[in-house]
Amino acid sequence: MSNGMVCAPQPEAVEAGAMILKSGGNAVDAAIATALTQTAVDPFMSGIAGFGSMHVYLPESGTHQCLDFHARAPGAVTPDMWEDKLLHECEDGFGFILKGRVNEVGYQSIATPESLRAYSTALSKWGTKSLAEVIQPAIEYAEGGWMVRPHVRNFWLQHEPGGRVDHIEYLRASPATAKIYLNEDGSMKGLGEVIKNPDMAATYKRIAQAGADDFYEGEIASKIVADMEANGGLISATDLKNAGPEDAELLWTDYRGYKVASSPPPGGGVMVLEMLNILENFDLAAMGHNSPDYIRTVAEAMKIATVDKDNHVGDPRFVDIPLDRLLSKDYAKEQADKIKSGVKTHVPRLQQGEEQKETTHICAVDNAGNCVSMTHSLGMPSGVTTEGLGFVYNGCMGVFDPRPGMTGSLAPGKSRFTSMAPSMIFKDDKPYLIIGAPGGTYIAMGVVQGILNALDFGMDAQQAVSAPRISATSDIIEIVNRIPRFVQAELEADGYTFRRYPLGFHFAGVHAIRMTENGLDGGADPGRDGMALAV
């Protein structure tokens, strides 16, 4: 009998989680082991000083909830501290370019580090293994080394057309970071080269011995605070002490007889559910997958959800979010009728730019039917590593709006909106599809297309995450190079503007596990380095 399955963008992390399942651990144990290994082998996509959202379904205990651990603005921020530095907004509305890039790279770009305490909390609440046990694979990779994979290398080489810093600057942002990830002459490590991180290994050994609280209130915390104070960082001892996850109620909708659950704000589940509600009013299967009519319909639903997100969705502790209206079937029908009448939704933007997508995802299922879908991230990595600690801090301050009085404006203790949407679809009240993705604001767009592929077009998990995708988070419809040009031409004749990418796989890195009568099948996005592994 199968012990379950793990699916994620890194083979090393998948194997670590699978081995936890094989040793008798449950899906939560496997997910946390996978996450911690991801922080070692994909250290600019995730880290113990990051943030995320964990969707947990444990049928035997009746548990089904979200553990939210979004990063928060430090207590030292003020709403207008960066108002005079604003240059422009990113094209898709997920971040701002400021003079001096203070919100992108360096110590002021760091928001509260939430991930490690969330991992520890999840294990305490629902796991069967200790933190010391599940962190061991990460220690081994940090100490023994891991090979630079294609996606890691491509990320380092990436140039940002929208004005953000080139990604090499993350590797140069602090001496301790450069020491680990660059050669002595400042050049990048090559594909297949092995990176060892003894400082991270030592930190993780300390955590295994002393527990996660040491990071927030103990010896590691003291080193973090001293580094912040010495370099103008905003994080204080109080910010660290108060960091921690919160239990959150999931958002729900029905879609063609299935029940769909996803993460609440400040996560992006509301966008996934709103789009599904709108698209339920169309016979998508009859249109044909990625036909001109299908692309126009899905793109318009994406734009509508994006405008609603920009105007209404943020940290619910600071923003009054009209969830009842946004998730209403009546509202969805009104929007669907607009699409049917030919209305093109306009997505306002300050100026043009490009978003970054430093995030990763995990799907895990065990033999008892426990399921986890978790997205976790550094947001945009700050590039900062405290000497001797070995991990990179998040750069989450880059998404806050420097203009006071806006939905995403700066405020002490406030979380940024993210598109994270770890989701589960239920068929006859049993889990059928576990899905999620890394990819910035592309996340909700990738997840919704993965769901449509599985539910409307009958694809298995690998087919669902591999089919060509689109994205529309502005007035431009973005497409991969596998979308036929004759399809694009027909829509251009109708007045649509396109941006074609040379990539065959793009717009989030969707990962999924499907639970069928014949067993589990998993899908890892071919645009990333990962895999699905059953044990």
DSSP label of 55: E
DSSP label of 477: E
- At residue 487, the pLDDT reads 98
CB 441 within 8 A of CB 398: no
- At residue 351, the pLDDT reads 37
Closest Cα partner for 265 from 377, 412, 373, 420?
420
DSSP label of 396: G
- At residue 453, the pLDDT reads 98
Q: Quote the CA–CA distance of 235 and 342 in Å, as a whole number.
A: 49
Is the backbone peptide bond immediately before 266 cis, with ω within 30 degrees of 0? yes
Interstrand relation of 430-436 and 531-534 (parallel, antiparallel or unpaired): unpaired
Q: 43: Cβ–Cβ under 8 A, 6 or more apart, which residues?
A: 181, 197, 200, 391, 392
- At residue 358, the pLDDT reads 65
pLDDT in tens, the chain (535 residues): 578 999 999 999 999 999 999 999 999 999 999 999 999 999 999 999 999 999 999 999 999 999 999 999 999 999 999 999 988 776 545 578 888 888 888 999 999 999 999 999 999 999 999 999 999 999 999 999 999 999 999 888 876 655 567 788 888 988 999 999 999 999 999 999 999 999 999 999 999 999 999 999 999 999 999 999 999 999 999 999 999 999 999 999 999 999 999 999 999 999 999 999 999 999 999 999 999 999 999 999 999 999 999 899 999 999 999 999 999 999 999 999 999 999 999 998 653 334 445 689 999 999 999 999 999 999 889 999 999 999 999 999 988 999 999 888 999 999 989 999 999 999 999 999 999 999 888 999 999 999 999 999 999 999 999 999 999 999 999 999 999 999 999 999 999 999 999 999 999 999 999 999 999 999 999 999 999 999 9
Homologous superfamily of domain range 250-345+420-534: Gamma-glutamyltranspeptidase, small (S) subunit (3.60.20.40)
Q: Which helix (H) or strand (E) holds 56?
A: strand 51-58
- Paired tokens of 146: 């891991």
- At residue 355, the pLDDT reads 42
- At residue 311, the pLDDT reads 92
Task: Tell me how long the chain is.
Answer: 535
- At residue 160, the pLDDT reads 60
Backbone phi and psi for residue 311, each to the nearest 5 degrees, phi listed first: -85, -25
Interstrand relation of 194-195 and 146-147 (parallel, antiparallel or unpaired): antiparallel
Helix intervals (H) in 231-283? 237-242, 269-279
pLDDT digits (tens, 9 = 90+) for 420-431: 999 999 999 999
Stretch(es) of the chain classified as CATH 3.60.20.40: 250-345+420-534
Three-state DSSP state, 7: strand
The terminus-to-terminus CA distance of the chain in angstroms comes to 9
Q: Which residue has the tokens 């009568």?
A: 517
Q: Quote the CA–CA distance of 332 and 321 in Å, as a whole number.
A: 17
Distance, C-alpha 138 to centroid of its chain? 20
Catalytically active residues, by annotation: 359
Interstrand relation of 258-262 and 251-255 (parallel, antiparallel or unpaired): antiparallel
Integer-rounded Cα Rg, in Å, for the chain is 21
